Chain A
Amino acid sequence: MGKRVLLADDDQLLASLLDFRLKKGGYTVHHSINGKEVKEYLKNDMPDIIVSDIMMPYFSGIELIDYVRNDLNSNTPIIIISSAGNEQNVLTAFELGANDFITKPVSPTELLVRIAREIDK
């Protein structure tokens, strides 16, 4: 069984594509389409890495970082994907404890490399 990746993205097409690529890369992927699902999942299980879109219904990527770092006190690596790579978002994400930040359009292969690097750390 490969490393577990929590993929949180409301864009089902992209999520499906990344899911496919990650599975092909040897990871076990759990896909959540909104913040509520992510929260429910994290209450019961903690993945090896979280890949989350910054804009999600109910629970944004920034809130997710805060929740994982402060409420769950977890050091699980978090990679944030955002279509709007404005400086403030990036800074806030890093301040709250995100490990990496990728702006769309995303190269699935590049994402795979980044995930591998974060997990290896």
Chain B
Amino acid sequence: MFIPPKQIKISLITAPEFNLEYLWWLTILFLVLSVIYFVGVFLIRNKITANNSRTKAKKVEFSPMINEFLFYDDSITKEEKMNYLNLKVQIRELIKNKFDRHVLTEVLLDLRKDLSGQSQQVLINLYKDLGLHHDAYEKLGSSKWQVVSSGILELTTMEVDEPYGLIIKFINHRQSTVRKQAEIAVVNLKEEGIKYFLDNTKYKIAEWQQLKLLDVLRHKPNYTPPQFGLWLTSTNSHVVLFSLRLIKYYSQNNAEQSIITLLKHKKKEIQAEAIECIKDFYFVNALPTLMMVYPKASHDIKIAILDAIGELGSASEIPFLENLKATERHFNIKGKVISTLNKINPESVLPTKNISKIDFYETEQEAIEEKPENELLETPQEPIVTTEVEEVVVNSDKEEITVEAPLSLPDTENEAVNENIVAEDEINSTELSTEAIKNAEEFTTPQALVDEQPYEIDLSFLPHVKDIDETNEVAEENIPEDVVENEVDEFVVDFLPLVVEEIIAQEKDEIYAQDSLEPTFILDNESIIDQTEFTTTDTLDNDLSNEDLSIDWTSIISESDKNHSDNASVEPIVKIKNGSVSFSANFMPEEELETMVILENISELGDCRELGLLYDIIEENNSELIIERANELIEKFSYQSPRPNDLLGEENSLALSVFTDIYHLADKETKLMLLKEIKIVGDEKEFRLLESIIDSESGSLAKEAIEALSAIKSRLSLPIVNEEIKPTQDSIFNVNFELEIAKKAKKNIDNKETGSTLFDQLCSMSNSLYNKKNG
């Protein structure tokens, strides 16, 4: 750096002249100070060491005396008694000295910690006999908090309760150490101390202090705790919390209403502790309050409430939980809701996430069968499990069921089908499922089965299949057995009475109406589970005993082969004619199959970025199965990228814009940048997003959105509608005008920008650099 010679000269001239004589004086001064410091340290250290040695020597001197006192026995000889009396005199002489008295107190306090039983009691008596507690009294009057604290500790350790009246004054001492020591002393020294403490304490009771106090109470011999419910009305919330813990510890379940009321307390800790008490004491009456408190509770409290409902709840709480299951967004809480539901009603909610649909495996299997060598599809290496019994022939003693096709139904249809199966309901579902799975294992390859399998297989475990209209009629009217028999003329089942719950049947009617599916026959685990929903009155012991049911396999094979070769998508159909059930197969076209594989891959590996692609798939495909699967994935990924509900329209039209997700995850600055980008590159897909921004936002975002909308519309030659910015919410912080700098101030700033001082120039340079960088 260049320094002008003029400046160097000035600096040399202005340097102070220093007298070297002063330097010597300063050196001597610092040497003397350092000598004093080291001598001081040496002396203090020696004093401490000497003091320690002296204390140690005194302790050694006192030790045998104390031992004699502690283990004094009346049955000793006269000489020993004389010796004991001499020791007493000697020790009394010694404690006249303050230092000796201090050392003796220290020894006794140390031994008090290490001794128990009778020796401990003798030690305490010795302390009092020698009058050492008077020193502790004096300490209580000290102005130093540490001395006061040590005095209280000494009296507490030696269980001297005479100064109880003095110690209680320190319960609300401003120094926390003294206060805590006093709290322990008060609780320790007298049985009623805890009452006084809970009545009078004004300060916070720390968690650690609560533990210590509880420990003191626990170790009190023959202690009868008071009714801690009395302090649940305390104005000190820490007292309430501590009381709740004491209530729980001492199992005092006679404050039910107070505890239930505390569920509405503003403090989370108290709420949590109240919930714990309710759970422990099984206060079923608290359930309505628990449900009332739930919506406004914090995350942790919600979990605790659900836990309590799980413990105490019954079937009457299920609607509340079902509602939560549908509305709760938080992952943990939703999981807890489901576990609570299952706790009250075991296995009422089954796993649904990441469970592949049966038809997914089926389609894969069919694809493999079609082109085993070409390997058209690269499917993930997952075990293919077929749980459907696809072609089964029952050959019981008297009945035969004819099944006409291997089944491969889309999932939605499967569900509908499962519901269509009227479990003539005397089926023992456990037996059925076990047998069904066994049979399913035997028939994992439908085509092979069709080729090789003889057409008569024991199908006694299968549920009966009826026409949907008949089912509905039966369900609605709850017709007794004989009436059903008369009405169902095509598929006569006369073995057992059928009882179907009306509500369930109505729900199923609605589903049927929506799906407008033909009744089909399929047996898989889901159908078995679904059947259990129907009320059954008997078992299948006598089933299929009176009816002749036959399965016409030839028609199945011929139809399935035809369908297979045509590669056409055919709706599965069940025809019931004179006791025979006929089915037609559903084969998915290759193109749809590929799309399904893509969807499954998206499901495995994709995220919210695939939303656009999914919408495209929906637009391009007509298959209900694909549309449904794509919608499922959209729902899944939309959940991954949470957005305000109001922006998610019914048709999810907002997601048409690629900017939607990014926009809702961005901060304000980024949103503005995005809107500028939309203004430049956007098209009609962005309309909904921009409109929603105009509707929901205010200020600069809405302004930018209007500009972007106008720009796109003008670019696309569309009529421009004047959008208005939504007025901002009333707030004293919201201003609807630009803040302007007063002219005078502005003038000053302008002047400063080109100021004449070095600082001004530096400032202006940095400003110009900044402006240059930012354009």
**Which residues of A are in contact with B by a Cβ distance under 8 Å?**
11-14, 16-17, 20-21, 24, 83, 104-110
Contacts and interface: CB of A to CB of B under 8 A. Distances in A.
A20 B67 contact: yes
A13 B119 contact: no
B110 A13 contact: yes
19 contacts: A13-B63, A13-B107, A13-B110, A13-B114, A14-B111, A14-B114, A16-B63, A17-B70, A20-B64, A20-B68, A21-B71, A104-B113, A105-B114, A106-B115, A106-B116, A107-B116, A107-B117, A108-B115, A109-B118
A108 B117 CA distance: 8
Given A105-B114, A107-B119, 20 more contacts: A11-B114, A12-B63, A13-B59, A13-B110, A13-B111, A13-B114, A14-B111, A17-B67, A17-B115, A20-B64, A20-B71, A21-B67, A24-B71, A83-B114, A106-B114, A106-B115, A107-B117, A108-B119, A109-B117, A110-B117
Q: Which 3 A-B pairs have the closest CB atoms?
A: A107-B117, A20-B67, A105-B116
B172 interface: no
A53 to B, nearest CB: 10
A86 to B, nearest CB: 17
B76 to A, nearest CB: 10
| Interface of B (DSSP majority class) | helix
Contacts of A12: 59-60, 63
Nearest to B108: A13
B66 interface: yes
A85 to B, nearest CB: 13
A12 B64 CA distance: 11
Interface of B: 59-60, 63-64, 66-68, 70-71, 107, 110-111, 113-120
B60 to A, nearest CB: 8
Contacts of B70: 17
Contacts, number: 55
A14 B116 CA distance: 12
Nearest to B70: A17
Contact of B115 (A16, A20, A107): A107
- Most chain B C-beta atoms within 10 Å of own C-beta, residue among A20, A104, A110: A20
A16 B67 contact: yes
A12 B59 CA distance: 9
A18 to B, nearest CB: 9
A106 B120 CA distance: 9
Contacts of A20: 64, 67-68, 71
A25 to B, nearest CB: 10
A17 B117 contact: no
B71 A16 contact: no
A105 B107 CA distance: 15
Given A13-B110, A14-B111, A17-B111, A107 B118 contact: yes
A11 B115 CA distance: 13
Contacts of A106: 114-116
A7 to B, nearest CB: 14
